[in-house]
Chain A
Amino acid sequence: MASADIIVAVATPPGRGGIGVVRISGLNLQSVFSEIYCGVVPPRYATLRNFVDCNGEALDRGIVLFFPAPYSYTGEDIIELQGHGGPAVLRSLVEECLRRGARVAQPGEFTKRAFLNDKIDLAQAEAVADLIDATTTKAVRCAQRTLRGEFSLAINVLVEELVQQRATIETILNFPEEDIEAQGDDGQYQAISSIEGRLEAVLRASQQGSLLREGAKVVLIGQPNVGKSSLMNRLAGDNVAIVTEIPGTTRDPIRLLLELEGVPIYVVDTAGLRTAQDAIEREGITRAWEEAEDADIAIIVMDCAQLGSEHQYLEEIVRRLPNTLPKLFVYNKVDLVGKAAVIDEEAPPTKIWLSAKTGAGVTLLKTALLEILGWNNVGEGAFMARARHLDAIRHAKNYLLSARENQGRLELVAEDLRRAHESLCNITGEHTADDLLGEIFSRFCIGK
């Protein structure tokens, strides 16, 4: 089954690597995409080329591989761009491809195409099916987690406003005989323009990296001297934080980039959350709470040798953390009380008994982290899932622009708004024609 679409994705695992591979699949690829690598290359030879953007500015230098259809993994033309592995380079390469008409591949889509083009043996079918299903749900979860709160909030607000505008226009188009207050006036086009502008702002912010990041953020929280910094050192494998016996040693949050199974994870060690003695330490504690605000997960560390006295602090900490923030309780120093390292996943939050000092139970913690973050067996990075989201926003923005250009021709405006909304629904979830009617009937008194 031939497909008209050209798809693109980063083929190497998420995170930083020595090289990063961007893979494109579709029909007649070289005619358009060879611009990126400065001219057609021969099939199946590794060719060293400059990768450039649409203005001819160099992005990277690397190897191009071209596999013409049908002798390729998917059975279609395939181009592989092997560049240097940084996320920024890969992102700009993918963006160049999108600009030239490709779309971001769905999870497992290369494999699916391979299967549909008889490139994969039938016995592998179920594995393909499993892969598609597993990657889709997890990748979506992943993308949502790595897009900061402000991002999804902004999009939800914009979709809400877009639905309002659609409801107004559809009311005018579908109920011309009702005496309703719906007007297709200038205010409406201003509203559309405002949505468009804010989508643009989201896109700009995402390119500057202020709203988006690769990987997840984990904060370590707990009373002084329960072993947060030791735990961080254990996770990192070398001495990053200063570990001493004096309570209140960690005054500034310390950041550490870990890679767990190739997944980038920022761990932030915070100042112990006790009532501070001096100004510097108080400042450190304030920062600790701020770090918790936009974290993806909070690890609350306790000393299991002193559990009795920690209980009231624990309640206080949990109360002050955002409700929606997933939490993990770690009971450190099992070695001191002669307990074994175990994990209790019966009810949230997950509880882990371990020893940062001996390393017992640290693997349990790593696995639990990946599980909660939705990174287990994802198969594609948050980067690709996120690229899909940004692509959807870009499309939506273009449809809104077209809607404004069609001002006064309501049925065309309605069509543009429908398409813009459809694009954004890739981020926020399904919205049906019936949902839109519900919006209309709740706002306008229809019923001649």
Chain B
Amino acid sequence: MNCTNEFDVIVIGGGHAGTEAALASARMGKKTLLLTHSLETLGQMSCNPSIGGIGKGHLVKEIDALGGAMACATDDAGIQFRILNRSKGHAVRATRAQADRVLYRQAIRGRLENQTSLFLFQQAVDDFVIEGGRVTGVVTQLGLRYSARAVVLTTGTFLNGLVHVGESSYQAGRAGDPPALKLAQRLRDLKMGVGRLKTGTPPRIDGRSVDYSQLKSQPGDNPEPVFSFMSGPGNHPRQVPCWISSTNERTHDIIRDGITRSPLYNGAITATGPRYCPSIEDKITRFANKTSHQIFLEPEGLTTNEVYPNGISTSLPYDVQIDLVRSIAGLENAVLTRPGYAIEYDYFDPQGLNASLETKLIRGLFFAGQVNGTTGYEEAAAQGLLAGVNAALLASERDAWSPQRSEAYIGVLVDDLITRGVTEPYRMFTSRAEYRLQLREDNADLRLTEIGRRLGLVDDARWKCFERKREAVAREQERLKTTWVNPKIQEEVMRVIGDPIEREYSLFDLLRRHTVRYLDLMTLPGAGAPIVDDAVIEQVEIQAKYFGYIERQRDEIARQEQAETMHLPADIDYSLLRGLSIEAQQKLNKLKPETLGQASRISGITPATISLLLVHLKRGFRGIRQRSA
């Protein structure tokens, strides 16, 4: 037996999901193989050259807290950094960066190549080896066989990808790459629930043909924000601005004239696209009274002239694309470098997955990223990391792990996918999180580093750094809670707080007030010496501000967590359960939720159904299990 063909974990695909999956599994000490059709495109950003944003930045910080690569790679490759919602509360602030595509690929590839226990190999995968309901390996295009205890599939839009530009269409994984047809057929044969989705990109422009004098510049923030808890602005390369222009009535006339030739409107595309990322033809049709739409011109990198015009994703014919771009201020003489296109692709119904991202149908087979119906690098990377962790845990015969909705956006993402499925490409928004006030970017490390350490994902350097911060925050909070301010110093209090106090208050109670700042508070006589670490001050301050709201949710979370620990056996036949509606029986039999908590979030499952399940759970589902235990 050739031992170089034996692995603990195999990851298929080298995009954002695949790379995080492979890195996570290898960090946990598992012998991991990453198979990709092209080593050159590892860590490729196929759509716009940016990382983060509202909801997505939260995911990146969580990936970072779990030792993932995306945040550090973005810090190494980012050429413009901004904090969105800076004027609003911390829970809804998010970091966003423009990344240099080349630097980003290099940053990712460097991490992959230097990761111990990780092997990279360039071969497309055509088939799985499945024995007794369990995946045991894969077969590549050349017929090479590799065995593993777990396989993570992260093939993005490559399964039966179909690219549309105007009236022409061709099969592709993304523009310029071949699709994975054999693997797609194989997966369809396995009776996984398959659907079709659609997404699109704008044409790209040669920056030398842009008249920047007509455009508004949008520089990054100063000081420069960072993504990783381990980075500083010193990690960033040279910074450049983005540019803002907008469409006008003439642009809209051009689009209206050409719209019958758009595959979105002539019936060639049937799959559902995302509502939040409509093509420009969709925007002017659905919001016909809007006379102008913003366009952001995003630089693709420091060593290329290519520019990404964010906001005009389109699949109109190429000649219409040229005209519409040239109707925009500053782009009158634009030279296009690539046409915009729409792509339709297969995805698998994520309701067929467990919270670990393992398929319910085949043991050891994990799905992550766009194959699960999501969109976005960050959503893909988050799932990749989770699937990689669980593949490694399975290979070590350890229990699976998945964060709760109250712990991480990763938990919200996975739970939404597996309990509700998707009807359009799924993107993270903070409005999806019921515990938004505690799932913040600023405390992603406090929420997840310790778990990451236990799983074997967090190295010593990060752990030490984290422990120092956590202890400093706790120590200062304790000090604030036990230091009292007496109304006798009312004048000083008025100066700092603006209101008199009628009794003794702790510094912590005063800091909870909306307008009170930590450093001002420290000027009160007897307040003691302020701490100097800005990150610690920030954390102490934010936690005090949200304290009341988060306390209020504590009972709710505790109750919810109790439901999450109540496991529903996978072999229950719900149609034998007395008192359940037909709808509930069918849904529960289809989804086979792993816990009572998951069941409660399936649409159409009522609290009464949950009470019923609780009663049956208590009596061990006697008489209604498919096999006797």
Q: A409-B514, A411-B92 are in contact. Are A129 and B431 (CB under 8 A)?
A: no
Give A97 Cβ to nearest chain B Cβ, in Å: 19
Q: Are B611 and A174 in contact (CB under 8 A)?
A: no
A126 touches B578 (CB 8 A): yes
Given contacts A106-B607, A173-B85, A441-B275, contact A129 B311 (CB under 8 A): no
Contact of A178 among B92, B294, B434 (CB under 8 A): B294
CB < 8 Å neighbour of A122 from B92, B294, B619: B619
Enumerate chain B residues within 8 angstroms of A415, measured Cβ to Cβ.
Answer: 436-437, 549
- Please tell me if the beta carbons of B612 and A129 are within 8 angstroms of each other in the complex: yes
Q: Given contacts A4-B559, A176-B85, are A170 and B431 in contact (CB under 8 A)?
A: yes
Least CB distance from B246 to A in Å reads 8
Contact B608 A133 (CB under 8 A): yes
Q: Are A133 and B85 in contact (CB under 8 A)?
A: no
**Contact among A125, A137, A410, A448 with B311 in the assembled complex (CB-CB below 8 Å):** A448
Stretch at the interface among A269-277, A326-334, A426-434: A426-434
Chain A residues positioned under 8 Å from B416 (CB to CB): 433
Identify A445's interface contact among B55, B91, B283, B436, CB under 8 A: B283
Q: Does B170 lie at the interface of the complex (its beta carbon under 8 Å from any beta carbon of A)?
A: no
Q: Contact size class for B?
A: 35 or more
Decide if B54 is an interface residue (CB 8 Å cutoff): yes
Contact with B along A376-396 (1 / 0, CB 8 A): 000000000000000000000
Q: Which residues on the B side are within 8 Å of A130 (C-beta)?
A: 578-579
Does B92 contact A128, Cβ atoms closer than 8 Å?
Answer: no
Please name all residues of chain A whose beta carbon is closer than 8 Å to the beta carbon of B430 when the two chains form the complex.
173-174
- Whether the Cβ atoms of B54 and A175 lie closer than 8 Å is yes
Known: A133-B579, A448-B310. A116 touches B618 (CB 8 A): yes
Q: Which residues of A contact B514 (CB under 8 A)?
A: 409
Interface residue? A438 (CB, 8 A): yes
Name the one of B310, B313, B431, B437 contacting A433, with C-beta atoms under 8 angstroms.
B431
Contacts of B559 in A (CB 8 A): 4
- The answer to whether the Cβ of B615 comes within 8 Å of any Cβ in the partner chain is yes
Q: Bound complex: CA of A137 vs CA of B313, how far in Å?
A: 47
Q: For residue A132, which residues in chain B have a CB less than 8 angstroms away from its CB?
A: 579, 608, 611-612, 615
Question: Do B549 and A412 touch (CB < 8 A)?
Answer: yes
Nearest A residue to B416, CB-CB: A433
Complex CA gap A142/B11 in Å reads: 55
The interface bits of chain B over 126-146 (1 if a CB of A lies within 8 angstroms of the residue's CB, else 0) are 000000000000000000000
Q: Chain B residues near A109 (CB, 8 Å)?
A: 611
Nearest CB in chain A: distance from B286 CB, A: 7
Q: Are A447 and B431 in contact (CB under 8 A)?
A: no
Q: What residue in chain A is nearest B431 (Cβ atoms)?
A: A170
Distance, CA A434 to CA B278, complexed state (A) = 17
A116 and B566 alpha carbons, distance in the complex (Å): 14
Contact A441–B276 (Cβ < 8 Å): yes
B89 and A174 contact, CB distance less than 8 A: no
Bound together, the chains give a CA A392 to CA B581 distance in angstroms of: 26
Among A116, A177, A418, A430, which residue has its beta carbon within 8 angstroms of that of B434?
Answer: A418
Closest to A181 in B: B290
Q: Is A432 a contact of B278 with CB atoms below 8 Å?
A: no
Binary contact readout A103-127 vs B (1 if CB under 8 angstroms, 0 otherwise): 0001111001001100000100110
B619 touches A412 (CB 8 A): no
In the complex, what residue of chain A is closest to B275 when comparing beta carbons? A441
Nearest residue, chain B, Cβ from A444: B287
Q: Which residues of B contact A430 (CB under 8 A)?
A: 603
Chain A residues with Cβ below 8 Å from B616 are: 125, 129
Q: Evaluate contact between B615 and A112: CB separation under 8 angstroms.
A: yes
Interface residue? A446 (CB, 8 A): yes
B405 to chain A, nearest CB (A): 11
- A136 CB–B CB distance under 8 Å: yes
Contact digits for B209-227, partner A, Cβ 8 Å, 1 yes 0 no: 0000000000000000000
Determine how close the nearest CB of chain B comes to the CB of A309; give it in whole angstroms: 46
- Tell whether, in the assembled complex, residue A411 and residue B436 are in contact, meaning their CB atoms are under 8 Å apart: yes
The answer to whether A448 touches B89, judged by C-beta atoms less than 8 angstroms apart, is no
Indicate whether A48 reaches chain B with its CB closer than 8 angstroms: no
Residue from B294, B420, B431, B608 in contact with A174 in the complex, judged by beta carbons closer than 8 Å: B431
Q: How far is the CA of A412 from the CA of B548 in the complex (A)?
A: 11
Q: Does B580 lie within 8 Å of A133, measured CB to CB?
A: yes
| Known A132-B615, A174-B431; 17 more pairs at CB < 8 Å | A115-B618, A116-B615, A129-B579, A132-B608, A133-B580, A133-B581, A173-B85, A174-B54, A174-B429, A409-B514, A410-B92, A433-B434, A434-B423, A437-B429, A437-B432, A445-B290, A448-B311
Q: Can you report 11 A-B residue pairs in the complex whose CB atoms are below 8 A from each other?
A: A112-B611, A116-B614, A125-B615, A132-B611, A133-B612, A173-B430, A174-B429, A409-B514, A411-B91, A437-B275, A447-B278
Residues of A within 8 A of B (CB): 1, 4, 106-109, 112, 115-116, 122, 125-126, 128-130, 132-134, 136-137, 170, 173-179, 409-412, 414-415, 418, 430, 432-434, 436-438, 441, 445-448
A-B pairs, 7 with minimum CB distance: A136-B608, A411-B89, A441-B275, A445-B287, A133-B579, A129-B579, A170-B431
